[in-house]
Structure 1
Amino acid sequence: MDILTSRQIDFIKLMLEESEYKPIKYFTEKLNVSDKTLQKDLKIIGNYISKFNVKIDAKRGYGILIDSNASSNIEFINNLNINLKEKNSVSVDQRRVEILKMLLLNSNSSTSINQLSEKYYVSKTSIVNDLKYIEEWLKKYNIKLSKTLEGTKILGKETDIRKSIASLLEDILDQNNEEDKLPEITRIELSTFSALSNIFDLDSIMFIESIIWELEENLDYTISQPYYINLITHILICIKRLKEGNQIESKEDKIKLLDNLNEKVYENVINLIGKIEERYGVSINNEEIYYIYKYIVSSGFGNALDNNRLISENYINNSEEVTNMMIDIMSEFLNINLREDELLQKGLLLHIKPMLNRLNYDIQIKNPLLKEIKERFSEILGLCMLSIRLMSPYYNITNISIDEISYIATYFQAAVERSVSSKRVLVVCHSGYGTSQLLATRLKRAFPQWTIVDIVSVHRLSEVDMTNIDFIVSSVDIDIKDKMYIVVSALLMDRDVNNIKNVLMNASSEENSRNFNNLALEMEGNIFFNGNYNKEIDYILSNVKLEQVNLSKYYKIYINTSYEENKLIT
């Protein structure tokens, strides 16, 4: 038996209710999907119903109409109901996502437990449990689930509802595996575009992309991921809510807009707003302009305008201070001088500037690589979290998310790897000049950032001043205690290169682990290390609000978040 999706079954049920031709737009509004999605569904549905001698007639200018005898076709109706039961029993999580999506996208309407029970072919008790789960999820965004005799609907500030829709959409994007064809002109990757097109019209997605490209051209700046998708998503949500009559209330905070207004960006936002108003026939108030402005200015546009001095000096100085302070702290933690790393300095500064805007405007971003970063770079991520905590008394960065910190961690991980790869190396060979030169050449090719200080025979090794040598590579076994070395083939095979990388990275990790034991001596304030865990600490941990940070698989620290002045836990 062919399996239809819940949406396709709902589409068939809606068509069965109609006795006249209806345009596709009529059904897209009821199902909260795009025209493109339903056009694709029609082909699948057509193949499915043809097996029961049922057809869908399409008339240009009128719409579509299912055969009038379809409702009396027992085989068709039975198969459809069996299909629906099997589909809706697949996943509780999927059902909850669909109910949540329906509540958020139709916030002006109410539904009932009975309606949801009939729709998903589950008991009313199951729906009650679903709504309890949804109610907890909505609390994160200060949204309430209203339950009255009229039905169930959501209540909350418009800005909070939009944030929750964006968050739900990000979850859907993460889970989306549908295959589709991308339009020829788009910067959105395949799975993301497919997920977006299930909620928004294809024309709207392409239109918003086009006006964002024009904005980029006018400001001479290209938005990078994930900010590009974040911006497009929020503008699409804004338009969808406006079309349904939901505007941001005038009493919601817009004062911050006047503090550091970027005039050039603001002028371009007004131009963008005009295009949206003309396209969709909506009127956009000042609060909506502020809403769109803050997402655009938090996407990195300010970086391109520094030279024009359109950004306040305080903002620029603050970004540089945060960047420099974090590099200083991380240099101390890692026992590596990262202050001279220009790539780190420039890259981190370009991230910090829009990040401070996002924190100021309470804009959250998601890092799709967060899970991998936690697994592979837990020490760097933990130290970045610790650095942020130590900096929080000096800068307003207390509400920074783990996703934001994980992006910062990638800059430091790259810097650490560059530091590891930048070594002053001594090459030791048995005797032959030709083979020693070959080894040195192959080392230079494999590790272009290395400086080959000298090439010596094993007999001359005792004469070499090791003061400025970081590492020794030798084609023969050597007797040396005070310097790290590795023995390789004179031809430097691929396995030798991998062994060298592993040895250097492991040595760096061991050095970091030793430094962890000394961190408590260098800090003031709010840090407890589990290295000296004892029963007396149990009492402290049970009576003080702590934030846990994992520096490695076995090493954790706890940060006291309950004292206003971050006093040391002793």
Structure 2
Amino acid sequence: MKSCHFAILKLLDKEESKVLTSAQLAMEINVSPKTVRTEIKHLNMILSDYNMCIKSLRGKGYILKGKDNRKINELLSSNVNERRSQIPVDSNERVNYLLEKLLFSNGFIKMEDLHAELFISRSTLQGDLKKVRKLLQLYGLFIEHKPNFGMKIVGDETLIRFCLSEYIFNQHPLLLKEQMRNILSLKELTIIRNSIIENIRKYNIAISDISLHNLIIHVSIAYKRLLEHKSVEFMREKVYSLFYEKEYEVAKKILERMESGLGIKFPETEVAYLTIHLKGAKLTSTPDNLNFQNIVDENIYCVAKQVIQVIDDAYDLKLTGDEELLINLCLHLKPAISRFRYQMNLRNPMLEEIKMKYPLSFEAALTGVSVINKRFSVQFNESEIGYIALHIEAALEKAKRSYKERKRSLIVCATGLGSSQLLMHKLTNIFGKKLHITETVEQYNLTRLNLKNYDFIISTIPIKNKLPIPVVHISSILGNIDISKIERMLDYSDINLREFIFSEFTFLQRDFRTPHSIIRFLTNNVVQKGQADTDYIQSVLERESFSPTSFGNMVAIPHPLKPGTNATFLSILTLCRPVNWGDKSVQLVLLLNINKNRKEDLQPMYQSLVHLIDDKQKVFQLLRCKTYRNVIEIIKE
């Protein structure tokens, strides 16, 4: 199976019952629509052996028929293994192959042996090794060459283990189990797993499944390296500094259990090494028989409170006073700080989804992390920020359920006091817990009221004048349809994006090559139109430097560190061809400009944008737009 077959099958499998056009598939895998149509014919020949097929729906696109999850996993797994057993042909594949070979080798490797295995020239091999050296330098490691012996990786043992674990974590999920079994036998892996689980249970250490999985991999690597007589070295002072930690005792018991099962002796430095990893394991809760204050020190508690306050000041999310969020943040911060200080890697498998589905929470986490970084002299990566964003999103969801403040409304009724009072009492009886109707008013008196004090208007007559808040038109004799309209308004948090898109900030089918040039072009336009000061450009660029704002589905949403425009609106730019933005391809750029005096616009704008970028069909239609009117029509749909 070709790599493009693999990609097409994964895309159609992921989209479940959705239809994807050849152009959409082509955009995702960077080939032409014609190539997609040709390769689908070849792919169908393979799928026929599994009683599945990709069906073409005339005028609509392609859909996977006869889907069977077990068979798909079997097919994808066999393809991964097949590709793994093949001799690497391109440079990237060879670099990965060489890295694995050097990392897992117990001695020197000769250049002549690599020539014979890879069927490449000496100059090509040297070019690939140059790339391997650059990757290793990121971990503080080097390749040592010894005449008549060959080459091997040298460096601090802790850093070699770190690099090994990173390599394993970066494997395709279908390869991960196989990779681990290449390192150790199933019996050895079982003993390691059981030794860890028994003791974290015994000592009431509640860690996440991901942390447990990471811990097993780190301990497995430590055991394998020890078999090769490679042990970590720590200064005696560092070992002593860990000696009185609870995690040191747990680490000692885990390794004692492993010693009895595996027949190997772990030195004291390996106990310290495992202690560090236990301190960095991600806590999931406070065990019932432990006091929260005994787990979290005063420094972390104070910083967590400050983080929540800074987030509220910036985004007005009303999180201050949420004790559950405060506790969860403290429980996350303690091991997270240890992970940074001891250069440990905790992958966040949900990171891309978090950034795409909960962008506001991710932005809030990014803002809060600046406080943590400064106070503890750390530098949290995107994985850690993503985990903090999950805690914030959970708090926001909880707030939606428990938020007691009712929406405010007024009634406009043309038929007199009696009918308006009857309507008000009916609505109060139905929506009393959600809706506060402050008064009834005649249409001509609307202009005398400050409508910003209300969430929406309920009117029994059409109101043609443009008002700053929504109007729900209902019948004087309240019916089921009228009740549904009001229910939708009470639960409605999105906004109409059409109202925030203007022709002077819309640029279609442009040719840019870098995110930096795109951001400069869009922000310059905002400044030139008098909507922001010149420092707005730097604010957006600075935010981008912290974490790429590419969200998947070919979309990027750059924005400033804090609201800085005179109004809330979107700057839209579509590209003739995709650009690399972080680790993603981007062809639709939406610069989010928020009124500096209306922080409350942030949440509904983000919610509406999430719905937009989650709709692949709509994104694809926007990319094909030639005029501003086309854009508005698609957004209107």
Relative to the length of structure 1, the TM-score reads 0.62
Q: Give distance in 1, aligned partners of 2:312 and 2:298.
A: 21
Q: Deviations over 1:505-564 (max 9, x none)?
A: 9999xxxxxxxxxxxxxxxxxxxxx964479989xx9xx9x9545688342459xxxxxx
Q: Deviations over 1:379-432 (max 9, x none)?
A: 543453343334544x22423222112211222234345556735224667769
What is aligned with 1:141?
Answer: 139
Q: Deviations over 1:332-352 (max 9, x none)?
A: 010232112233223222211
Counterpart pick for 1:320 among 298, 301, 320: 301
Contact residue 96 and residue 130 of structure 1 kept, 8 A: yes
What is aligned with 2:387?
Answer: 407
Distance 1:435 1:225, change over 3 A: farther
Counterpart pick for 2:495 among 475, 478, 503: 503
Quick check: 1:370 aligned with 2:368?
A: no
Contact residue 269 and residue 292 of structure 1 kept, 8 A: yes
Distance 1:547 1:434, change over 3 A: same
- AA in 2 matched with 1:126: T
Matches within 5 A, 1:162-561: 162-172=161-171, 175-177=172-174, 192-193=176-177, 195-249=179-233, 252-253=234-235, 255-256=237-238, 258-259=240-241, 263-300=245-282, 304=286, 308=290, 316-393=297-374, 395-416=375-396, 418-419=398-399, 422=403, 423-426=405-408, 451-454=434-437, 471-472=455-456, 474=458, 484-485=469-470, 487=472, 489-492=481-484, 496=488, 500-503=492-495, 532-533=533-534, 547-548=545-546, 553-557=557-561
Q: Give distance in 1, aligned partners of 2:387 and 2:362.
A: 9
SS of aligned partner of 1:490: helix
Contact residue 348 and residue 383 of structure 2 kept, 8 A: yes
SS of aligned partner of 1:347: helix
Contact residue 263 and residue 310 of structure 1 kept, 8 A: no
What is aligned with 1:154?
Answer: 153
State the 1:101 CA deviation: 1.5
Contact residue 146 and residue 152 of structure 1 kept, 8 A: yes
Contact residue 110 and residue 153 of structure 1 kept, 8 A: yes
Q: Deviations over 1:55-95 (max 9, x none)?
A: xxxxxxxxxxxxxxxxxxxxxxxxxxxx9999325554333
Q: Deviations over 1:236-256 (max 9, x none)?
A: 11111111211112xx34634
Mean alpha-carbon deviation: is it higher for 220-229 or for 412-421?
412-421
SS of aligned partner of 1:502: coil
Q: Give distance in 1, aligned partners of 2:208 and 2:341.
A: 20
Mean alpha-carbon deviation: is it higher for 473-482 or for 231-240?
473-482
Q: Give distance in 1, aligned partners of 2:247 and 2:304.
A: 24
Q: Give distance in 2, aligned partners of 1:151 and 1:294.
A: 34
SS of aligned partner of 2:123: helix
State the 1:266 CA deviation: 2.9
Q: Give distance in 2, aligned partners of 1:112 and 1:498.
A: 71
Distance 1:323 1:128, change over 3 A: same
Distance 1:222 1:442, change over 3 A: farther
Mean alpha-carbon deviation: is it higher for 232-241 or for 212-221?
212-221
Q: Give distance in 2, aligned partners of 1:88 and 1:142.
A: 29
Q: Give distance in 1, aligned partners of 2:410 and 2:153.
A: 73
Distance 1:553 1:536, change over 3 A: closer
Distance 1:555 1:115, change over 3 A: same
Q: Give distance in 2, aligned partners of 1:281 and 1:494.
A: 71
SS of aligned partner of 1:503: coil
- Provide the identity percentage: 21
Distance 1:392 1:138, change over 3 A: same
State the 1:227 CA deviation: 1.2
The alignment's C-alpha RMSD in Å is 4.8
State the 1:286 CA deviation: 1.1
Q: Give distance in 2, aligned partners of 1:254 and 1:302.
A: 32
Contact residue 427 and residue 440 of structure 1 kept, 8 A: no
Contact residue 227 and residue 299 of structure 1 kept, 8 A: yes
Q: Give distance in 2, aligned partners of 1:474 and 1:289.
A: 69
Distance 1:484 1:383, change over 3 A: same
Distance 1:438 1:245, change over 3 A: farther
What is aligned with 1:111?
Answer: 109
Quick check: 1:122 aligned with 2:104?
A: no
Contact residue 219 and residue 304 of structure 1 kept, 8 A: no
Distance 1:443 1:237, change over 3 A: farther
- AA in 2 matched with 1:220: N
Q: Give distance in 1, aligned partners of 2:173 and 2:198.
A: 29
Which structure would you say has the larger RCO, counting Cα contacts within 8 Å and 6 or more residues apart? 1
SS of aligned partner of 1:492: helix
What is aligned with 2:21?
Answer: none
Distance 1:367 1:556, change over 3 A: same
State the 1:435 CA deviation: 9.5
Q: Which runs of 5+ in 1 are unaligned?
A: 4-82, 179-191, 445-449, 509-529, 559-570
State the 1:168 CA deviation: 0.6
Distance 1:533 1:308, change over 3 A: same
State the 1:113 CA deviation: 2.3
Q: Which runs of 5+ in 2 are unaligned?
A: 4-81, 414-418, 474-480, 501-530, 550-555, 563-637
State the 1:470 CA deviation: 6.5
Contact residue 361 and residue 389 of structure 2 kept, 8 A: yes
State the 1:217 CA deviation: 2.0
State the 1:374 CA deviation: 3.5
SS of aligned partner of 1:141: coil
What is aligned with 2:7?
Answer: none
Aligned length: 428
State the 1:145 CA deviation: 0.8
Contact residue 85 and residue 121 of structure 1 kept, 8 A: no
Q: Give distance in 2, aligned partners of 1:358 and 1:553.
A: 30
Contact residue 364 and residue 401 of structure 1 kept, 8 A: no
State the 1:466 CA deviation: 9.0
Relative to the length of structure 2, the TM-score reads 0.56
- AA in 1 matched with 2:198: E
